[in-house]
Amino acid sequence: MDRLAAFTAARRDEMMRDRARNRGQIGAAGEAGNVVDQAFGLLWYRMIFEHERSTSRPPMTSPPRSQNSSAMIRRVEVGFAVERFDHIVLNCNDVEATAAWYERVLGMTRETFGPSNRTALSFGNQKINLRPIGALADDPEWVTGTVEAAGSEDLCFITRATPDEVRAHLAGCGVEITAGPVTKTGAMGAMTSHYCRDLDGNLVEVAVY
């Protein structure tokens, strides 16, 4: 590295001399101009060169990379920015059975809310509302997406358990592990994931950072 640094510095000095000669500030070898003047001129142009290099930035041709992952990040300025998910709505064929599965397998807490006694599963600062297929018949205000379907979701949950503990727990619950452990890229970087499916066939990923 010392030899490379010395070569780089020497090459830089040579470039500075060329630039100085082109601007008429340093005489070529054998021309008029004493050594002190040439050294001062070289020092002056080195300072200019360092200043130009430090203040001029080439235009970015690609978005910056996240420090925690290899994923590309692109930020767009808008009037406001969302902070996090509050809840999602999961359309399901059997609310009772689905709630029991998520309680038993993922440790969520069942809640009943609203005048229609809807069912939710809470965990952390988020929750999943369980919406039965055909809910509009009994709960006209509970609209959903354009396509009302059970088993079309792909969900990823984070746990503080170890990957081995995740695998052992899923197996103990009688849940088939469809893939894992595998390394995936989440919102915070690389994580170790196991995949399974809930009762409606939704893909459920349980991941560990």
Residue 96's SS3 state is helix
Question: Does position 25 have pLDDT exceeding 60, yes or no?
Answer: no
Distance, CA of 134 to CA of 130 (rounded, Å): 12
DSSP 122-184: EETTEEEEEEETTGGGT-TT----SS--SS--EEEEE-SS-HHHHHHHHHHTT----EEEEEE
Choose between 18 and 56: higher pLDDT. Answer: 18
At 2, the pLDDT band (50, 70, 90 cuts) reads: low
In this prediction, residues 26-53 reach a mean pLDDT of 54
Distance, CA of 151 to CA of 172 (rounded, Å): 23
Question: Does position 156 have pLDDT exceeding 50, yes or no?
Answer: yes
Question: Does position 162 have pLDDT exceeding 80, yes or no?
Answer: yes
Hey, which of 13-22, 49-58, 184-193 has the most confident mean pLDDT?
184-193
pLDDT in tens, 42-57: 565 566 556 555 555 5
What's the confidence (pLDDT) of residue 193?
Answer: 98
Counting residues of the chain whose pLDDT is more than 70, the rounded percentage is 66
Least confident of 64-68, 116-120, 142-146: 64-68
Question: Does position 99 have pLDDT exceeding 80, yes or no?
Answer: yes
Question: Does position 61 have pLDDT exceeding 60, yes or no?
Answer: no
What's the confidence (pLDDT) of residue 79?
Answer: 87
Question: Does position 81 have pLDDT exceeding 50, yes or no?
Answer: yes
What number of helices (H) and strands (E) belong to the chain?
A: 4, 8
Averaged pLDDT score across all residues of the chain: 82
Amino acid occupying residue 56: S
Question: Does position 32 have pLDDT exceeding 50, yes or no?
Answer: no
Taking alpha carbons only, the member of 18, 167, 37 closest to residue 105 is 167
Q: How many CA atoms are closer than 13 Å to the CA of 128, on its beta-carbon side?
A: 22
pTM of the model: 0.64
| Phi and psi, residue 79, nearest 5° | -65, -30
Residues that are catalytic:
205
Taking alpha carbons only, the member of 37, 45, 35 closest to residue 13 is 45
The tokens of 58 are what?
């080439």
Angle between the N-to-C axes of helices 2-22 and 35-55, in degrees from 0 to 180, rounded to the nearest 10: 110
Query: Which residues face 123 on adjacent strands?
Result: 126
Sign of CA dihedral 62, 66, 72, 78: negative
